[in-house]
Structure 1
């Protein structure tokens, strides 16, 4: 039997290697680390009706099933896309019977719950309110907008994050060696290829596993009985041009350097080109976003304070929507930062202040700048002679704010450009 014939009798790889317990589950450490509230609840075999909100392929369905197993509950699953509320009500009646006669709870999992309309969601409310069922709804949409307030107020919302590159790679490696996965195919796959698949999967484990499975099934074994997967194989399958680089190699740093220098040099077209080179090669968009946030303060600063806002908004967009859509947010940020007036005054100011801080770390805070929280503090001089700026014209008054050793020291020297030139030079 050939590989493709064998596959026809099997569920998809993602289903075959689906984790069965928390030890096998990868990702969502902010929810499942041993000191986190959800993990503590599960340790007590407790659970409440919830919403799992997050992008595709982050483990919403898998986690719901694991929770049902841990809490010794029945597990019934529906997709809101093709399920009627009457079908759900039939399951609820069975759940009520099991609870009444067998003291066994039932987790009713509704995938894509945002596809249920208001009337359908209303129908769930009394059963959730009375604790007849444990409802877990999965959604990729903001529950504040998609779930009716009366139901949402009775659900705990857990936000699931896109998986990291390393987490995706862990899942892929497990699939390669898993008895129900690809172990029998004798795969040969390098770290570079795993990196590539993880990068282009955009935090979606299901997508990554589908790519790996498709690549495996499309190749024949070599003379040594192995199936070797290359980046070119993946690229060909996805009809995606290979613009790959080693994320720890020189070319990676050359590209990010070119991007940053283009923005610093006020060259929007060049910045867009280098941005596209990096994203299309599979660079993590969050890495680029973090560099843009740094650049906004380091190379623009108060010449245009909105630069930091725009860069941070682009970073949030990468978190929220992922690739490929977040490429537009990054492009918008690159254009804005390129066209913004430039100043490194903030960077130089902090570097000089840091140098003095390290050399004078034992200097005490002047008494007039200390807050007299108690009567005793006031008695020994805390806050004495402090001049409250709002009591003076224009809301400011000359007084010493630095330690005596640094009296008169200046760190911030604004430029004549942009907002700095207009306001800070006064």
Structure 2
């Protein structure tokens, strides 16, 4: 049996018995106007609206769409809405389990459906980044000949994970993470809607707030947790979903943490101070509290990057690249997998040798500048790449260090008022011991007077 027949049968069962479907499926938007979030994609006249035939001229644009965004932001939903709005068959495949054989079966079925009874097909291919180049190449004839409307979803940057021929033939739409207000609106709709819980149970504010933290911007996760908690509350004969019932149902305690209040800053401060103090276990504890409370992983990654320079610096020059790499990875993958990356970086920073010399060095230099201790740039260091510079004495007498055997020239670099100032005071912790030796050697060979 072809994969599209399975999909058609599932859709038919859902329409006949919607109550038997999961809440996340029942609440799946049927039109673009029901989609939560992604307002930048849903404006009147947008490419997405033209794709479903809204606006002057009817459907327009390419027959291939790539949806790029974090999990739970509505990629499958948008593909489903497009199929419904354009009255096309909806076929879903996952690149994790499907291969070229399954894709070709769907394409062959789509061609027969179009020729047999004029029904076009939307092929939704989830996680296209998991397809190899050869597998992605197999999609090109169907896209070029418009045998299917291909809607591919990816959580990874398509410029790195999708082949150029397919990318150039596709409309690329970037989905943003859902906000708490987006998910809150979806939960409240699910509580009251005829397709949802039909006001069978209430959701108090404290329970709703914890549910939002659990969801982490993932609409599917939010609705799944709501359905489970509502079922548990009704089984107990409760009229509302208590915080205790939600905690028992999803097996996650409500963390005392206000992302906009004192707890946000207190726990973040404790994380950084634990890293600075080299207590890896305490640092992991505070990291876990932030993750469990639904903190923005990008905020955590930014704090780690700051700590890498502020507290570790040259004692371990690898600390900053690790923190930067973690921030880039977090931005690409999001939670829950981003927890692993943040743990990786936190452990590396906590156990790294510590030095705040970069912090104190720039602090001292800035203090002098703010006091007005600047002075003119020495003439031999000034720009000499213009006519008349030599007459002014600019760049005259400058010694090019690369011409010397030791690669360092005894000449003045700082302004006169600061020529003997020393801002950088290295430690001998970790790799900075090498810099301590280097700075002593260079200052001696520059002919600097010792302070």
Structure 1 length-normalised TM: 0.74
Who is 2:93 aligned against? 80
Query: Is the aligned partner of 1:205 residue 2:216?
Result: no
Given the alignment of the two structures, is residue 351 of structure 1 paired with residue 366 of structure 2, yes or no? Answer: no
C-alpha displacement of 1:344: 0.9
| Equivalent residue for 1:59, pick from 69, 74, 81 | 74
Matches within 5 A, 1:194-233: 194-220=208-234, 227-233=239-245
1:128 and 2:140 are equivalent in the alignment: no
State the shift of 1:304 in Å: 0.7
Shift in alpha-carbon separation, 1:93–1:274, aligned structure 2, 3 A? same
Shift of 1:306: 0.7
Change in Cα spacing, 1:397 to 1:51, as seen in structure 2 (3 Å) is: farther
**1:289, 1:311 within 8 Å by CA — same for their partners in 2?**
yes
Aligned equivalents of 1:361, 1:38: Cα separation in 2:
57
Q: Which moved more, 1:267-276 or 1:386-395?
A: 386-395
Q: Supply the distance in 2 between the matched residues of 1:366 and 1:178 (Cα, whole angstroms).
A: 75
Among 287, 292, 303, the alignment partner of 2:299 is: 287
Other-structure match for 2:328: 316
- Choose the corresponding residue for 1:390, options 402, 408, 413: 402
Of residues 227, 242, 252, the one that matches 1:240 is: 252
What SS does the corresponding residue of 2:199 show, helix, strand or coil?
helix
1:332 aligns with 2:344: yes
Q: Deviations over 1:191-243 (max 9, x none)?
A: x44442233224322111221233234324999xx953343222111122444
Quick check: 1:8 aligned with 2:19? Answer: yes
Aligned-residue CA RMSD (Å): 4.6
Q: Structure 1 residue aligned with 2:268, among 256, 260, 277?
A: 256
Q: Is the 8 A contact 1:80 1:113 kept in 2?
A: no
Match in the other structure for 2:427: 415
Distance 1:179 1:373 in 2: 76
- Given candidates 27, 32, 39, the residue that maps to 1:21 is 32
8 Å CA contact 2:305–2:323 kept in 1: the answer is yes
Instruction: Report deviation, 1:342.
Output: 0.7
User: Structure 1's 245 and 130: CA in aligned 2 closer, same or farther, altered over 3 A?
Assistant: same
- In the aligned structure 2, how far is the partner of 1:405 from the partner of 1:33? 61
Rg larger in structure: 2
Distance between the aligned counterparts of 2:193 and 2:409, measured in 1?
71
Which whole-Å CA distance do the structure 1 matches of 2:368 and 2:156 have between them?
A: 49
Give me the whole-angstrom Cα distance separating, in 2, the residues matched to 1:366 and 1:105. Answer: 75
For 2:367 and 2:42, locate their aligned partners in 1 and report how far apart those are by CA, in whole Å: 39
For structure 1, the residue ranges without an aligned partner over 5 or more in a row are 1-5
Count how many residue pairs are aligned between Structure 1 and Structure 2.
Answer: 408
Determine the C-alpha separation between the residues in 2 that align with 1:378 and 1:163.
Answer: 61
CA drift of 1:134 comes to 4.0
Alignment map for 1:372-391 (pairs within 5 Å): 375=387, 387-391=399-403
Q: CA deviation at 1:299?
A: 0.6
Shift of the alpha carbon at 1:373? 6.7
Q: Deviations over 1:165-188 (max 9, x none)?
A: 555445445545667555734734
Tell me the SS of whatever aligns to 2:32. coil
Q: 5+ residue gaps in structure 2?
A: 1-16, 439-451
CA distance in 1, matches of 2:204, 2:269: 30
